[in-house]
């Protein structure tokens, strides 16, 4: 296991809240920083696929807002982006609504996901080669994903094939970030890669979570390091040879806002 900072569900909430309340960081800045980390990973995956096509699945909360902000960055980079929103566009609030408003004014194509046509529309849009970005549900999930989002999760998993890659935003939708198993025994997205924010999540340290997370990248969102040290836990690198003569290596000297990668395959913020 590769070491790093770990934040559980409640600690993530605390980091977000204190970044705003204690340090005066606008929450929309945190979302923008998250989108920049996503854009770097998404761009690399698109290049690996040899395509500029990305389909972004946006849920009703901050996770969806991350997807809207990512869409803007990908379009600015010359990519072809189609956005599917799981909720009524008029019901988005806060930072998610801000980013939705921006991409609507940019003229991006935004489709609604609903029970009658959502899975079918996604199937038509998901032809290879394409990158599917899962921005449906975040770390706040405790119960099984149901309704249209549950249907879409199953459809995403059916669409995975050579030429179709899936990138999860913060946590694969449907996965309990604290346990590393699908919440409530429901469906969870099986991603090729996950960009998680600020720190690893406890569930990502379990072997079983690898089925859903794929390769995990930790992306900073600019929160002060002391918040992560106050609310998080550092897990040392336990790979052979990772321990020095004085015991396990201590916490990294680089701030949590730096980007790191964890190979979670075999061999911030609450959405």
pLDDT digits (tens, 9 = 90+) for 183-212: 999 999 999 999 999 999 999 999 999 999
pLDDT, residue 242, reads 33
Who's near 76: CB < 8 A, 6+ residues apart? none
pLDDT, residue 271, reads 54
In angstroms, the Cα distances linking 260 to 104, 197, 219, 254, 256 are 32, 11, 7, 10, 9
pTM attached to this predicted model:
0.87
Classify 74 as helix, strand or coil.
helix
Mean pLDDT of 129-134: 96
In angstroms, the Cα distances linking 32 to 100, 154, 181, 209, 247 are 13, 29, 29, 27, 38
pLDDT digits (tens, 9 = 90+) for 69-114: 999 999 999 999 999 998 789 999 999 999 999 999 999 989 988 7
Mean pLDDT of 157-178: 95
Mean pLDDT of 242-260: 37
pLDDT, residue 88, reads 87
Q: Which two tokens stand for residue 53?
A: 């096509």
pLDDT digits (tens, 9 = 90+) for 227-236: 999 999 998 7
> Is the CB of residue 87 less than 8 Å from the CB of residue 114?
no
- Most distant pair of Cα atoms in the chain: their distance: 61
pLDDT, residue 2, reads 56
Tokens 């449906």, residue?
136
Select the more confidently predicted residue: 117 or 157.
157
Sheet containing 260-262, strands listed edge to edge, beginning at the edge strand earlier in sequence:
109-112, 80-85, 53-58, 130-135, 164-169, 193-197, 215-219, 260-262
> Percentage of the chain surpassing pLDDT 70?
83
**Is it the case that residue 237 has pLDDT exceeding 80?**
no
pLDDT digits (tens, 9 = 90+) for 133-159: 999 999 999 999 998 899 999 999 999
**Is it the case that residue 258 has pLDDT exceeding 50?**
no
CATH architecture of 4-237+250-259: 3-Layer(aba) Sandwich (3.40)
- 84 exposed, middle or buried (CB, 10 Å; 0-12, 13-18, 19+)? buried
> Percentage of the chain surpassing pLDDT 90?
74
pLDDT, residue 115, reads 61
């Amino acid at each position: 296991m590769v070491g790093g900072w770990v934040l559980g569900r409640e600690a993530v909430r605390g980091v977000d809240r204190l970044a705003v309340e204690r340090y005066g960081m606008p929450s929309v800045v945190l979302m923008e920083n998250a989108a920049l980390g996503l854009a770097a990973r998404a761009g690399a995956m698109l290049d690996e696929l040899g395509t500029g096509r990305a389909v972004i699945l946006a849920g009703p909360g901050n996770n969806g807002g991350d997807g809207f902000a990512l869409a803007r960055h990908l379009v600015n980079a010359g990519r072809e982006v189609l956005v599917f929103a799981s909720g009524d566009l008029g019901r988005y609030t806060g930072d998610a609504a801000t980013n939705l408003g921006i991409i609507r004014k940019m003229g991006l194509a935004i489709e609604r996901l609903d029970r009658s046509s959502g899975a079918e529309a996604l199937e038509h849009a998901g032809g290879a080669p394409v990158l599917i970005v899962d921005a449906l549900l975040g770390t706040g999930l405790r119960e099984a994903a149901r309704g249209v989002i549950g249907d879409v999760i199953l459809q995403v998993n059916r669409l995975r094939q050579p030429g179709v890659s899936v990138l999860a935003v913060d946590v694969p939708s449907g996965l309990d970030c604290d346990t590393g198993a699908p919440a409530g025994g429901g469906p969870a997205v099986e991603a090729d890669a996950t960009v998680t924010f600020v720190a690893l999540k406890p569930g990502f340290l379990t072997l079983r979570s690898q089925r859903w997370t794929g390769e995990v990248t930790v992306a900073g969102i600019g929160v002060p390091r002391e918040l992560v040290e106050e609310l998080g836990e550092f897990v040392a690198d336990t790979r052979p040879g990772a321990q020095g003569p004085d015991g396990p290596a201590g916490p990294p000297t680089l701030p949590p806002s730096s980007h790191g990668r964890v190979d979670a395959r075999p061999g911030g913020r609450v959405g």
